[in-house]
Amino acid sequence: MTLANIPVEPARGDVLRCKGWRQEGILRMLENTVANGEKPAELIVYGGSGRAARNWESFHAIVAALKALGDDETLVIQSGKPVAVFRTHAMAPKVLTANTNLVGKWATWPVYRALEAKGLIMYGQYTAGTWAYIGTQGILQGTYETFAAAGKRFPSGNLRGRIVLTAGLGGMGGAQPLAVKMAGGVCIAVEVDPARAERRVGMGYCDVIVHDATEAMRLARDAAGKGETLGIALIGNAADMFPALRRMGLAPAVVTDQTSAHDPLNGYVPAGMSLAEAVELRARDPDRYVREANASIVRHVAAMLGFQDDGAIVFEYGNNIRGQAEESGEVRAFEIEGFVPMFIRPSFAIGRGPFRWVCLSGDPEDLAVTDAAALAELPDDLLKTWMAMAKERVPIQGLPARSCWLGLGERDRMGLVFNRLVREGRLRGPVAMSRDHLDTGSVAQPTRETERMKDGSDPIADWPLLNALLNAVNGADLVSIHQGGGSGMGGSISAGMTVIADGSDSAEERIARCLFTDPAIGVVRHADAGYGEAKDAASRSGIVSPMGG
């Protein structure tokens, strides 16, 4: 029986529906993820088809199981469907979930879609299936870090006076205009769906919507010429707009893309058709839809290569658009480099990545207290700069939350501070701590997080699985493993986690272990690959290497 869906909003306050805060916190994270999703009525969070639960019947069953879950029990979820509750022990995770994991040569879109049609699997898409999605903010700082790093390649050291061209204003790409502005630049973001653009403008992530490429160019050039920042949403299809803008003489300093190109059936809209026509074709003839989407992706990537030939900094932003283009005939696709080896790997090597926390009380005052505590505990100039911008510019979506890039030894310190604040009654509720899957040791993806590793170990997927195992034995409240993510079917293996600071001694023990080893296995992974800065970070942190070195 399919249960009717209901509007989902995360619970707030101190009234528990579950037997403890660990279960209640996970339930609120699930509710918050769905409520912040791009298509909550379909349980789709972002990425075209990334779901929080397989269907509404499974969602309601998960909710009921969490409400009944004992302190010594663990709920097991297979691709969004709850399958068992096992007696474990009081320190064990409350939820273990695995999403979209297919065996070897069967990890293909046709196999996945056949299994999905039978109701046997769902696409978990990183923080959707890990129930750690906090809206567009979740990716904002990582996007800012990337564009700020791109700006450092110019004599000015930033993007001031420069134009960034990109596409995609969905759950991940929607952060781009604001991130570019934070880095000092002007952003033209092509978006095929006007509703998505309107949502970003309404939230303050983008400034203006235009329907004409000439007008977008005029606005961008005017703002860049004055050294001002501006976020422009240009309604259209990137496969059309990118080559048109190049023909018209736009000379962006930076070009990238965050359309859902990893999923050409559910995420990427072919050029030359309206959204309604695309939806109709997708249902009527999915094979033709994919062919046309891939043909559009080839045109899209060819235009990106053209901008690169013109001298722009061009990079893929982790959506597998290069892979899709290459499979469809664009032989130069991988002349475009990925953003991790270009900009982010030095951070990953020392365990620095996207730590986030959610104030489960729902009270914005708790966020203010945790923000102040973070700045007091970690008086770092980069953190101060980010926090000042975030508090001023980042709207709250759902439960109050913050995302900050913190390194090895900093996440566990912050987690223990938050646990103490809860214990002392200085917060009105517990704090759930998580991260993006795009982190130092949580993903193996040869065209993104592990692209061009120094030792050539790009496709080795042992490391995120070790990450998940460590988080499980150390008592994280939720542990997940995923295949695919934002990379297309079979493109990656990743692990997610959440641990809740409820003020208890148990939480203190588990936080100290989980929030250290979670980034530490990433440092070990980079040290093993030969990165000197990772070896130094491991040595400073007292990580023992049985092989020496």
The count of other CB atoms within 10 Å of the CB of residue 241 is 24
Write down the pLDDT at residue 69: 98
Q: Mark whether 375 and 468 lie in a shared domain.
A: yes
Q: Is residue 25 part of a domain?
A: no
User: Are 258 and 203 in the same domain?
Assistant: yes
Q: Are residues 323 and 397 located together in one domain of the fold?
A: no
Residues 174 and 243 in one domain: yes
Adjacent-strand bridge partners of 337: 315
**Using the 8-state DSSP alphabet, how is residue 208 labeled?**
E
3-state secondary structure (DSSP) of residue 460? coil
| pLDDT of res. 1 | 38
Q: Over the range 473-483, which residues count as b (16 or more CB within 10 Å of their CB) and which as e?
A: ebbbbbbbbbb
144 and 257 within one domain: yes
Q: Work out the burial of residue 257: count CB atoms within 10 Å of its CB; fewer than 13 is exposed, 13-18 middle, 19 or more buried.
A: buried
**Phi-psi domain of 249 (left: phi exceeds 0; alpha: psi -120 through 50; beta: other):** left
pLDDT of residue 159: 97
**Dihedral of the alpha carbons of 147, 153, 155, 156, in degrees to the nearest 10:** 20
Contact of 47 with 489, CB cutoff 8 Å:
no
Helix, strand, or coil here: 239?
A: helix
Report yes or no on 33 lying in a domain: no
pLDDT at 398: 94
Q: Based on the domain organization, do 317 and 442 belong to the same domain?
A: no
The count of residues in the chain is: 549
What's the token pair of residue 494? 């990743």
Final residue belonging to a domain, choices 335, 360, 381: 335
By annotation, the residues acting in catalysis are 404
Spatial CA neighbour of 265 closest among 228, 290, 299, 229: 290
pLDDT in tens, the chain (549 residues): 355 677 899 999 999 999 999 999 999 999 999 999 989 999 999 877 889 999 999 999 999 999 999 999 999 999 999 999 999 999 999 999 999 999 988 988 899 999 999 999 999 888 999 999 998 788 888 899 899 999 999 999 999 999 999 999 987 789 999 999 999 999 999 999 999 999 999 989 999 999 999 999 999 999 999 999 999 999 999 999 999 999 999 999 999 999 988 888 888 999 999 989 998 999 999 999 999 999 999 999 999 999 999 999 999 998 889 999 999 999 999 999 999 999 999 999 999 999 999 999 999 999 999 999 999 999 888 888 888 888 888 888 899 999 999 999 999 999 999 999 999 999 999 999 999 888 999 999 998 889 999 999 999 999 999 999 999 999 999 999 999 766 667 678 999 999 999 999 999 999 999 999 999 999 999 999 999 999 999 999 999 889 876
Q: Which one of 335, 357, 384 terminates a domain? A: 335
Domain-embedded: residue 192: yes
> Do 272 and 305 lie in a common domain?
yes
What DSSP character marks residue 334? G
Domain for residue 110, yes or no? no
The Cα 316–Cα 336 span in angstroms is 7
Of 302, 335, 368, the last residue of a domain is 335
Helix (H, G, I), strand (E, B) or coil at 411: helix
pLDDT score for 141: 85
DSSP state of 343: I
Report if residue 284 sits inside a domain. Answer: yes
> Looking at the structure, do residues 366 and 305 belong to the same domain, yes or no?
no
Does residue 153 sit in the same domain as residue 253? yes
Q: What share of the chain is helix, strand, coil (3-state, %, to 5)?
A: 45, 15, 40
508 in a structural domain: yes
CATH number of the domain within which 316 lies: 3.40.50.10730
Whole-number pLDDT of residue 4: 65
Supply the CATH number for residue 480's domain.
Answer: 3.40.1770.10
Backbone phi and psi for residue 81, each to the nearest 5 degrees, phi listed first = -120, 120
Radius of gyration in angstroms for the set of CA atoms belonging to the chain, rounded to a whole number: 22
pLDDT, position 389: 86
447 shares its domain with 527: yes
d(CA 418, CA 427): 9
Q: Which domain holds residue 162?
A: 137-335
307 CB contacts (<8 Å, ≥6 apart)? 165, 242, 246, 252, 255, 314
User: Does 319 share its domain with 442?
Assistant: no
Tell whether 363 and 405 lie within a shared domain.
yes
Q: Does residue 309 fall inside a structural domain?
A: yes
* Domain-embedded: residue 252: yes
**Domain tally for the chain?**
2
